[in-house]
Structure 1
Amino acid sequence: MRGGTPSTEDFGQRLRSLRVRAGLSQEALSHAAGVSVRALADMERGRTRGPQRRTVEALAQALGLDGDEASDLEAAAAPGRPRPRTAESRAVPVALALPRDVQDFTARDAALAQLLDLARDAGANRPAVSVVAGQPGLGKTAFAVHAAHRLAPHFPDGQLALDLHGMDAEPTTPRDALARLLGAMGIADAELPAGTDDRASLWRSLAADRRLLLLLDNATDEAQVGPLLPGTGPSLTIVTSRQALAGLTSVHRCDLALLRREEAVELLTRIVGPERVRAEPQAARDLADLCGHLPLAVRIAGQRLLSRPHERLGKLVTRLAAEGRRLDGLQAGSLRIRAAFALSYRQLSTESATFLRRAALAAGADFSPETGALLAGLSYDEAVACAEELTDAGLLQSDPTAERYRFHDLLRLYAAEQVEVEDGPAVRDAVLDRTARWMLGRATAAALHFDVDHDRTAPSGDPDPDGAPAGRQDARAWLEAERAQWLAALRRAHDTGRHRQVVDTAEAMHWFSDLNQHWEQWVEVFRRSADSARALGSRREEAVHLNYLAWAHNLCVHDPRAALVSADAALVAARDSEDGLQEGWALGYGAGALQRLGRTQEARTRLHEAAGCLASQDSPQARLAELTILNTLGTLLRQIGRPAEALDIHRRSERICRAGVPGRTDELIALYHAVARQQIGNDLAALERWHEAEPPLRKALASFEAAQMPAWAEQARLDLGQVLGALGHPEARRTLTAAHDALAVLRSPRQDEAATALAALDQAATGS
Structure 2
Amino acid sequence: MERGRTRGPQRRTVEALAEALGLDGDEAAGLEGAAALGRPRPRPRTAEGPAVTVPLALPRDIQDFTARDAALATLLDLAVDTGPDRPSVSVVAGQPGLGKTAFAVHAAHRLAPHFLDGQLALDLRGMDPEPTTPRDALARLLGAMGIADAALPASVDDRASLWRSLAAGRRLLLLLDNAVDEAQVSPLLPGTGASLTIVTSRQALAGLPSVQRCDLALLRREEAVELLTRIVGPQRVGAEAQAARDLADLCGHLPLAVRIAGQRLLSRPHERLAKLVARLTAEGRRLDGLQAGSLRVRAAFALSYRQLSGRTRTFLRRAALADGADFSPETGALLSGLPYDDAVACAEELTDAGLLQSDPSAERYRFHDLLRLYAAEQVEAEDGPGVRDAALDRTAEWMLRRATAAALHFDAEHDRTAPSADPDPETGPTTREEARTWLEAERAQWLAALRRAHDTGRHRQVLDTAKAMHWFSDLNQHWEQWVEVFRRSSDCARALGSRSEEATHLNYLAWAYNLCVHDPRSALTTADAALAAARGGEDGLQEGWALGYGAGALHRLGRTEEAQARLRDAARCLALQRSPQARLAELTILNTLGALVRQAGRAEEALDIHRRSERICRAGVEGRPDELIALYHAVTRQQIGNDLVALDRWHEAEPLLRQALAFFETAQMPAWTEQARLDLGQVLGAMGHPEARATLTAAHDALAALRSPRQAEAATALATLDRSAPDG
Q: Structure 1 pair 217/675, CA: closer, same or farther in 2 (3 Å)?
A: same
Counterpart Cα distance in 1 of 2:102 and 2:690: 58
More displaced 10-residue stretch of structure 1: 470-479 or 389-398: 470-479
Structure 2 equivalent of residue 308 of structure 1: 268
Structure 2 equivalent of residue 25 of structure 1: none
Structure 1 equivalent of residue 38 of structure 2: 85
User: Partner letter of residue 434 of structure 1?
Assistant: R
Matches within 5 A, 1:221-240: 221-240=181-200
How many Å apart are 1:80 and its aligned residue? 11
2:485 to 525, 530, 536: 525
Matched-pair contact (CA < 8 Å) for 2:42–2:53: no
Counterpart Cα distance in 2 of 1:50 and 1:675: 97
Q: Deviations over 1:348-388 (max 9, x none)?
A: 01111000000000011110000000000001100000000
Structure 2 equivalent of residue 570 of structure 1: 530
1:328 to 288, 306, 311: 288
Q: Structure 1 pair 59/548, CA: closer, same or farther in 2 (3 Å)?
A: closer
Counterpart Cα distance in 2 of 1:459 and 1:650: 38
Matched-pair contact (CA < 8 Å) for 1:51–1:81: no
Matched-pair contact (CA < 8 Å) for 2:590–2:609: yes
Matched-pair contact (CA < 8 Å) for 2:358–2:366: yes
In the alignment, is residue 265 of structure 1 matched against residue 251 of structure 2?
Answer: no
In the alignment, is residue 317 of structure 1 matched against residue 317 of structure 2?
Answer: no
How many Å apart are 1:723 and its aligned residue? 1.7
How many Å apart are 1:392 and its aligned residue? 0.4
Matched-pair contact (CA < 8 Å) for 2:280–2:286: yes
Q: Structure 1 pair 728/77, CA: closer, same or farther in 2 (3 Å)?
A: closer
Q: Structure 1 pair 586/207, CA: closer, same or farther in 2 (3 Å)?
A: same
Matched-pair contact (CA < 8 Å) for 2:396–2:450: yes
Q: Structure 1 pair 161/242, CA: closer, same or farther in 2 (3 Å)?
A: same
1:491 to 451, 456, 459: 451
Structure 1 equivalent of residue 157 of structure 2: 197
Q: Deviations over 1:235-291 (max 9, x none)?
A: 000000000000001000012111111111111111111111111111111111111
In the alignment, is residue 57 of structure 1 matched against residue 17 of structure 2?
Answer: no
**Structure 1 residues without counterparts, runs of 5 or longer:** 1-5, 12-48, 62-73
User: Partner letter of residue 186 of structure 1?
Assistant: G
> Helix, strand or coil for the counterpart of 2:177?
strand
Structure 2 equivalent of residue 399 of structure 1: 359
Matched-pair contact (CA < 8 Å) for 2:312–2:346: yes
User: Partner letter of residue 58 of structure 1?
Assistant: D
Q: Structure 1 pair 741/710, CA: closer, same or farther in 2 (3 Å)?
A: same
Identical residues among aligned pairs (%) = 81
In the alignment, is residue 220 of structure 1 matched against residue 180 of structure 2?
Answer: yes
Matched-pair contact (CA < 8 Å) for 2:225–2:245: yes
Structure 1 equivalent of residue 474 of structure 2: 514
State how many pairs are aligned: 713
Q: Structure 1 pair 160/52, CA: closer, same or farther in 2 (3 Å)?
A: farther
How many Å apart are 1:651 and its aligned residue? 2.1
Counterpart Cα distance in 1 of 2:551 and 2:460: 30
Counterpart Cα distance in 2 of 1:294 and 1:556: 36
> Helix, strand or coil for the counterpart of 1:129?
strand
Q: Structure 1 pair 53/694, CA: closer, same or farther in 2 (3 Å)?
A: farther
* TM-score, normalisation: structure 2: 0.94
Counterpart Cα distance in 1 of 2:147 and 2:726: 84
Matches within 5 A, 1:32-47: none
Counterpart Cα distance in 2 of 1:281 and 1:737: 40
Q: Deviations over 1:415-472 (max 9, x none)?
A: 1111001001111111111111111111111112222232222222211122221122
More displaced 10-residue stretch of structure 1: 91-100 or 597-606: 91-100
* TM-score, normalisation: structure 1: 0.90
In the alignment, is residue 704 of structure 1 matched against residue 664 of structure 2?
Answer: yes
User: Partner letter of residue 248 of structure 1?
Assistant: L
1:503 to 446, 453, 463: 463
**Structure with greater Cα Rg:** 1
> Helix, strand or coil for the counterpart of 1:500?
helix
- What is the Cα-based RMSD across aligned positions, in Å? 2.3
Counterpart Cα distance in 2 of 1:606 and 1:9: 107
Matched-pair contact (CA < 8 Å) for 1:681–1:697: yes
How many Å apart are 1:85 and its aligned residue? 2.5
Matches within 5 A, 1:546-585: 546-585=506-545
Structure 2 equivalent of residue 734 of structure 1: 694
Q: Structure 1 pair 293/8, CA: closer, same or farther in 2 (3 Å)?
A: closer
Counterpart Cα distance in 1 of 2:20 and 2:195: 22
> Helix, strand or coil for the counterpart of 1:94?
coil
Matched-pair contact (CA < 8 Å) for 1:50–1:78: no
User: Partner letter of residue 36 of structure 2?
Assistant: R
Counterpart Cα distance in 1 of 2:22 and 2:126: 36
Q: Structure 1 pair 691/110, CA: closer, same or farther in 2 (3 Å)?
A: same
Counterpart Cα distance in 2 of 1:729 and 1:633: 30
Counterpart Cα distance in 1 of 2:18 and 2:248: 55
Counterpart Cα distance in 2 of 1:581 and 1:618: 10
Structure 1 equivalent of residue 3 of structure 2: none
Q: Deviations over 1:706-752 (max 9, x none)?
A: 11111111111122222222222222222222222211211111112
> Helix, strand or coil for the counterpart of 1:130?
strand
Counterpart Cα distance in 1 of 2:620 and 2:20: 90
Q: Structure 1 pair 635/56, CA: closer, same or farther in 2 (3 Å)?
A: farther
Structure 2 equivalent of residue 433 of structure 1: 393
Q: Structure 1 pair 348/728, CA: closer, same or farther in 2 (3 Å)?
A: same
How many Å apart are 1:215 and its aligned residue? 0.4
In the alignment, is residue 363 of structure 1 matched against residue 323 of structure 2?
Answer: yes
Matches within 5 A, 1:150-169: 150-169=110-129
How many Å apart are 1:51 and its aligned residue? 9.7
How many Å apart are 1:83 and its aligned residue? 3.4
In the alignment, is residue 688 of structure 1 matched against residue 648 of structure 2?
Answer: yes
Counterpart Cα distance in 2 of 1:425 and 1:272: 41
User: Partner letter of residue 116 of structure 1?
Assistant: L
User: Partner letter of residue 643 of structure 2?
Assistant: D
How many Å apart are 1:535 and its aligned residue? 0.4
Matches within 5 A, 1:597-746: 597-746=557-706
In the alignment, is residue 544 of structure 1 matched against residue 497 of structure 2?
Answer: no
How many Å apart are 1:640 and its aligned residue? 1.1
Matches within 5 A, 1:394-473: 394-473=354-433
Matched-pair contact (CA < 8 Å) for 2:41–2:145: no
**Structure 2 residues without counterparts, runs of 5 or longer:** 1-8, 45-51
Counterpart Cα distance in 2 of 1:56 and 1:457: 83
Q: Structure 1 pair 572/119, CA: closer, same or farther in 2 (3 Å)?
A: same
Counterpart Cα distance in 1 of 2:570 and 2:32: 107
User: Partner letter of residue 106 of structure 1?
Assistant: T
> Helix, strand or coil for the counterpart of 1:239?
strand
Q: Deviations over 1:562-601 (max 9, x none)?
A: 1111111111111111111111111111111111111111
> Helix, strand or coil for the counterpart of 1:629?
helix
Counterpart Cα distance in 2 of 1:713 and 1:317: 46
Structure 2 equivalent of residue 70 of structure 1: none
Q: Deviations over 1:664-701 (max 9, x none)?
A: 22222222122112222222222222222222222211
How many Å apart are 1:54 and its aligned residue? 13
Counterpart Cα distance in 1 of 2:428 and 2:95: 34
Counterpart Cα distance in 1 of 2:190 and 2:440: 50
How many Å apart are 1:104 and its aligned residue? 0.9
Matched-pair contact (CA < 8 Å) for 2:26–2:161: no
